[in-house]
């Protein structure tokens, strides 16, 4: 006899047909135990945010939700960059792969981010060398270079409409920043043979980036930028064409370890020999080791009205820019001449009520020549951040792998993360283990107090930026 307790929710899909206490057919949605609020706090279920990206991309028709039981070699949780690339790689190795996504493929950070394809990690190679040694730092560097190559190949093959373009500049806020940037550039050239980056003196930098906020910086022609939503939609198309099954509107409520593991959604379950967890900042508290080391953080982007001839006074080259502030600004021009300007992090689940006014004030301060412009679109998203800003790779069980916590470097990093997840799942884990050996720190305050403590840290970071220290 079924021993499940009937639960009244906003949807009752069918009568419970469970066995061995597994409730299959109850769609608990955003109220399920309060652990999935980030998935529903700021967006309508199953709908992309009203962003410039969504307005200039063509999503596939909505895919069906998982209903009942499905058997697979591998179940991937999350249809963003990491999950879809892992699925593509595994399908090429002959695995039967199912992807389950809470909303739509590309709905999360993969379809909302700044689109910057940056070199290395959030921490520089000098920082890494001091902590893991030069040999390990070199191995990590090689993986990040492979990540950029992999991304360019994926764009060219599956999403040329994502328009990969070379060039990312970093702006120095003060003389100390410029000295740090120069030291990093010199080390990349001398130690790693990376000759695609150069320092840029203040006057030349102002000719590229039309603001007096920066005291020079660097220009990396080995990095680049893309339309992130078109890219992830292209990955989803390619995965399906290769034979991967993607279920949308199928948020995961529980993963039961075992051989096979059981991945439960509100309406069904997947029995899989292997599970890949790729939810990043939108991942609910399914795994304590992930929650202990990855903090969900909101970031925001605005797209101005088309700037016309003024666009060239903001950026004279088709590059992306980020700065050395503690609370980073990042921006670039869109293909139709808008300024895409991002930043303004916060640590609460809900987005602030008035992001636009605050963002426009930052735009006006940086670029007085367009101080009167307005945003046509403003949107936000949730990313995963670690305490030391290095990505987090973990084994959550004998047959369960996780990667995330990319800390703003996810566009490039996911290209190698997906590949390493596939390699480890297929039995070759050496390269995955190199990334798993990165220094990993618990989030201060644990799951109960991490948000207030990190918000306090953000306040201090803002103050440092204003004081120039």
| Mean pLDDT over each residue of the chain, to the nearest integer | 88
CA pair distance 306, 362, nearest whole angstrom: 18
* Amino acid 255: pLDDT: 97
Tell me the pTM: 0.89
The reported pLDDT for the residue numbered 383 is 92
CA angle 321, 386, 123 (to 5 degrees): 45
Residue 27: is its pLDDT beyond 80? no
CB 216 within 8 A of CB 202: yes
Higher pLDDT, 352 or 397: 397
pLDDT at 48: 97
Give the pLDDT score at 444: 75
d(CA 51, CA 321): 20
User: Counting Cβ atoms within 10 Å, is residue 420 exposed (0-12), middle (13-18) or buried (19+)?
Assistant: buried
Q: In this structure, what token pair is assigned to residue 294?
A: 């990855």
How high is the pLDDT of residue 454? 52
pLDDT of residue 455: 52
Question: Considering only 144-158, 171-185, 319-333, which range has the smallest mean pLDDT?
Answer: 319-333
pLDDT class of 450 with cuts at 50, 70, 90: low
Return the higher-pLDDT residue of 32 and 229. Answer: 229
- Kindly report, residue by residue over 40-85, the tens digit of the pLDDT: 889 999 999 999 999 999 999 999 999 999 999 999 999 999 999 9
Task: Report how far residue 343's alpha carbon sits from residue 331's, in angstroms, rounded to the nearest whole number.
Answer: 9
Closest to 81 measured CA to CA, from 51, 47, 117: 117
Q: Highest mean pLDDT range out of 26-30, 341-345, 371-375, 448-452? A: 371-375
Task: Read off the pLDDT band of 446 (50, 70, 90).
Answer: low
The Cα angle at residue 124 between residues 84 and 328, in degrees rounded to 5: 75
pLDDT in tens, 251-278: 999 999 999 999 999 999 999 999 999 9
Mean pLDDT of 173-187: 96
Section 187-214 average pLDDT = 97
Share of residues in the chain with pLDDT > 90 (%): 79
Q: 421: pLDDT confidence band, cut at 50, 70 and 90?
A: very high
């Amino acid at each position: 006899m079924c021993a499940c307790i009937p639960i009244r929710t906003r949807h009752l899909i069918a009568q419970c047909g469970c066995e061995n206490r597994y409730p299959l057919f109850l769609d608990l949605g955003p109220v399920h135990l309060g652990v999935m609020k980030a998935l529903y706090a700021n967006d309508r279920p199953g709908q992309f945010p009203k962003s410039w990206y969504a307005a200039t991309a063509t999503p596939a028709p909505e895919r069906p939700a998982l209903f009942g039981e499905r058997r697979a070699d591998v179940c991937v949780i999350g249809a963003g960059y990491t999950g879809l690339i892992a699925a593509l790689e595994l399908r090429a190795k002959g695995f039967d792969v199912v992807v389950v996504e809470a909303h739509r493929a590309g709905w999360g950070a993969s379809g909302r981010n700044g689109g910057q394809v940056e070199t290395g990690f959030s921490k520089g190679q000098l920082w890494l060398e001091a902590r893991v040694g030069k040999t390990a730092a070199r191995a990590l560097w090689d993986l990040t270079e492979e990540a950029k190559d992999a991304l360019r190949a994926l764009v060219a093959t599956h999403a040329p409409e994502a328009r990969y373009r070379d060039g990312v500049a970093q702006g120095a806020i003060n003389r100390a920043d410029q000295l740090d940037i120069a030291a990093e550039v010199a080390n990349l050239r001398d130690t790693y043979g990376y000759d695609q980056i150069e320092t840029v003196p203040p006057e030349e930098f102002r000719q590229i980036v039309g603001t007096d906020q920066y005291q020079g910086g660097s220009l990396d022609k080995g990095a680049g930028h893309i339309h992130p939503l078109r890219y992830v939609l292209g990955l989803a198309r390619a995965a399906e064409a290769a034979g991967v099954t993607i279920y949308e509107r199928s948020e995961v409520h529980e993963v039961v370890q075992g051989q096979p593991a059981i991945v439960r959604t509100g309406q069904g379950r997947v029995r899989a020999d292997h599970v890949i967890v790729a939810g990043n900042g939108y991942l609910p508290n399914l795994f304590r080791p992930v929650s202990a080391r990855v903090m969900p953080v909101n970031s925001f982007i605005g797209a101005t009205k088309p700037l016309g001839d003024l666009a060239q006074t903001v950026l004279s080259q088709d590059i992306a820019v980020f700065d050395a502030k503690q609370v980073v600004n990042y921006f670039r021009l869109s293909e139709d001449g808008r300024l895409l300007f991002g930043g303004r992090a916060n640590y609460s689940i809900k987005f602030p009520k008035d992001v636009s006014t605050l963002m426009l004030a930052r735009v006006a301060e940086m670029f007085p020549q367009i101080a009167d412009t307005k945003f046509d679109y403003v949107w936000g998203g949730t990313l995963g951040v670690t305490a030391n800003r290095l990505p987090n790779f973990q084994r959550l069980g004998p047959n369960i792998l996780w990667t995330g916590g990319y800390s703003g470097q996810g566009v490039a990093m996911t290209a190698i993360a997906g590949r390493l997840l596939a390699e480890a799942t297929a039995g070759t884990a050496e390269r995955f283990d190199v990334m798993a050996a990165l220094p990993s720190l618990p989030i201060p305050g644990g799951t109960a107090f991490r948000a207030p403590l990190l918000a306090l840290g953000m306040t201090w970071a803002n103050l440092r930026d204003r004081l120039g220290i």
